[in-house]
Amino acid sequence: MINDQTGPTGFTGFSGKLGAVIGSDPEFSGLSFALTAGIAQYRIDADKIKLRDPNDVIGSQDQNQIYPDVGLGVFFYSSTADGDYFYAGASVPQVFGLNLMFQDEEGNFDVQRIQHFYGQLGFYKFLNDDSFLEPSMWLKYVPGAPINADFNLRYQLPSALWIGAGGSTAKTIHLETGVTLGENAGFENTIRFGYGFDYSFTTGGPYLGSTHEINLTFAFDN
């Protein structure tokens, strides 16, 4: 379930996910596919629209429409002859490029929601002291805009701690740290705590502010 509100526009959606892994030995390599399907309500809050003409009919009525929402993804991973690990993936979280036309008795206006395309590429290089390096790249593309690329490098220390840093072509930097608790802490399952910090050096960066992210991951036994 997701709810998003940005100025006068927003949407609320419900979706489910189904995925499968194809491979003779999925522990070491495989090709996975996933499908997300659901329904979303797109809405316009007329009271929050800033109009050039205060009497414009667009600002007099709230609008909403309901559309199906579908996403697709594919992911490949494989271990190398040296015991390292390679992965790559691509996804389109919202397949339908919707052009939402809101109409009333005196006029109409539309809100266009276009597809976003994502790609990722990464590699785990395991070191002799039970640590590893993970360089990775994340590509994002929206029709009509330049391709955005994120480059990151994460280092997992022999202890539970990891640190990472990166930057993007959108003039942002990323810093992260966290701990991984599993066999090293006497747990049967793996628990990860992480913190991430992002800051933009674009013209609007000081106005948008920085981003702080806290995440918790728990791995269940099979």
- Would 123 be classed as within a structural domain? no
Residue 152, domain member (yes or no): no
pTM of the model: 0.74
Confidence band for 10, pLDDT divided at 50, 70 and 90: confident
The predicted-structure confidence for 71-99, as pLDDT tens digits, reads as follows 999 999 999 988 899 999 999 988 876 66
Identify whether the C-beta of residue 102 lies closer than 8 Å to the C-beta of residue 108: yes
Q: Is the pLDDT of residue 7 over 70?
A: yes
Given pLDDT bands bounded at 50, 70 and 90, which one contains residue 189? confident
Domain annotation covers residue 50: yes
**Residue-wise pLDDT tens digits, 37-69:** 998 888 877 776 666 666 655 545 667 778 888
Q: Within a domain: residue 206?
A: no
Least confident residue range of 19-28, 49-58, 90-99, 150-159: 49-58
Question: Would you place residue 132 in the very low, low, confident or very high pLDDT band (cuts 50, 70, 90)?
Answer: very high
The number of distinct structural domains making up the chain is: 1
Q: Is residue 92 part of a domain?
A: yes
- How much is the mean pLDDT over the chain? 85
- Asked whether the beta carbons of 64 and 32 are under 8 A apart, the reply is no
Kind plus residue range of the DSSP H or E element containing 207: helix 205-208
**Domain annotation covers residue 154:** no
The whole domain housing 22 covers 1-115
Kindly state whether residue 134 falls inside one of the protein's structural domains: no
Which residue, chain included where needed, has tokens 């539309």? 110
Determine which of 13-22, 92-101, 184-193 has the lowest per-residue pLDDT on average.
Answer: 92-101
User: Rounded to whole angstroms, how far apart are CA atoms 218 and 207?
Assistant: 35
Q: How far apart are CA 39 and CA 114, in angstroms?
A: 16
